Amino acid sequence: MPTYILYISIIVPSILISLGAALYIFQERLIFRPDKLSDKHIFKFEQDFEELNFTTEDGNTINALLFKIEHPKGIVFYHHGNADNLEYWGTKAIDFTSRGYDVLIYDYRGFGKSTGKVKNEKMIMADALLIYKKLLYNYKERDIIIYGISLGTGIAVRLAHENNPKLLILETPYYNFYDVSKFHYPYLPNSILLHYQFKNNKLLPEIKIPVYMFHGTEDETVPYDSSVRLAQLSTNIKLFTIPNGSHSNLNTFHDYHENLSEILK
């Protein structure tokens, strides 16, 4: 056997094994990219809001912002992406308050002023359900809209599957977490290594409420085809395609706002 072939046969598997081990051990660091804030940080937004803190069963604090308007039609429970914090995500609230809805946006564990660290899917879902149940003290369930963007779509889908909100809206959703991880790390055995599943493709067909999705055709983080395949799973799902939209700029397009207004009218 030529030396270079022998060299490749040893080095390539070694690299793949090392990458696989890194993905398994450090996957939370690859998936969640929190931007911390001091607990003394003061949020400033042009619209009225209230800062809230929810205490988890294990004693951690989930920090949230509640944007309120007079005489709301309901509330949008917003699940954000895998990076930044409420300083950035709070700017999204105007898209919903301007259409007559209160908005509750929260930071996952380790993000912003939230304490602790995300360690598994069960934990992140327990935190979301905790807040959902708190919302029911002040809002009727039929007036709650669950919204998820990117990473948050998996949380939003499962939360809607386990409860009975008014609507489910997804922005740049993935087919499932294995599917999107395979897109980014195609040579690794992701089905074995991943702690997170977020099976949107399994849960969405069982959801009876209307589901609306937005996805851009130029998304290089979660492929547009993910939403195309999801939309084929149920007649309850409607996909709004944003031509030339990428992963993080859909709310800069007229088509997004036009369709969102129609959904929330």
- 77-134 pLDDT, tens digit per residue, is 999 999 999 999 999 999 999 999 999 999 999 999 999 999 899 999 999 999 999 9
- Tally of CB atoms within 10 A around 262: 10
Tokens of 201: 């493709």
CA angle 212, 218, 222 (to 5 degrees): 60
CA angle 161, 222, 171 (to 5 degrees): 50
CATH architecture type of domain 3-264: 3-Layer(aba) Sandwich (3.40)
CB within 8 A of 233, min separation 6: which ones? 201, 204, 205
Average pLDDT over residues 175-195: 67
**Nearest partner of 223 among 241, 205, 204, 202, judged by Cα:** 241
CB within 8 A of 88, min separation 6: which ones? 35
pLDDT confidence of residue 94? 97
SS3 (DSSP) at 239: strand
SS3 (DSSP) at 261: helix
Pick the residue with more confidence: 141 or 185? 141
Q: Is the pLDDT of residue 205 over 60?
A: yes
Bridge partners of residue 213, in order along the sequence? 170, 239
Residue 155 CB-half CA count within 13 A: 29
Torsion of CA 250, 251, 253, 259, to 10 degrees: 100
Average pLDDT over residues 165-193: 77
pLDDT confidence of residue 17? 45
Give the model confidence (pLDDT) of 6-26 as tens digits: 445 445 454 444 444 445 555
Average pLDDT over residues 129-141: 98
- 56 φ, ψ to 5°? -80, 170
State the Cα–Cα distance between residues 67 and 227, nearest whole angstrom. Answer: 29
Domain boundaries, the chain: 3-264
Q: How many helices (H) and strands (E) does the chain have?
A: 10, 10
Q: What is the DSSP letter of 234?
A: -
Q: How confident is the model at residue 70 (pLDDT cuts 50, 70, 90)?
A: very high
Bridge partners of residue 104, in order along the sequence? 66, 77
Q: How confident is the model at residue 33 (pLDDT cuts 50, 70, 90)?
A: confident
- Report in angstroms the alpha-carbon separations of 96 from 54, 92, 123, 146, 259: 23, 8, 28, 12, 12
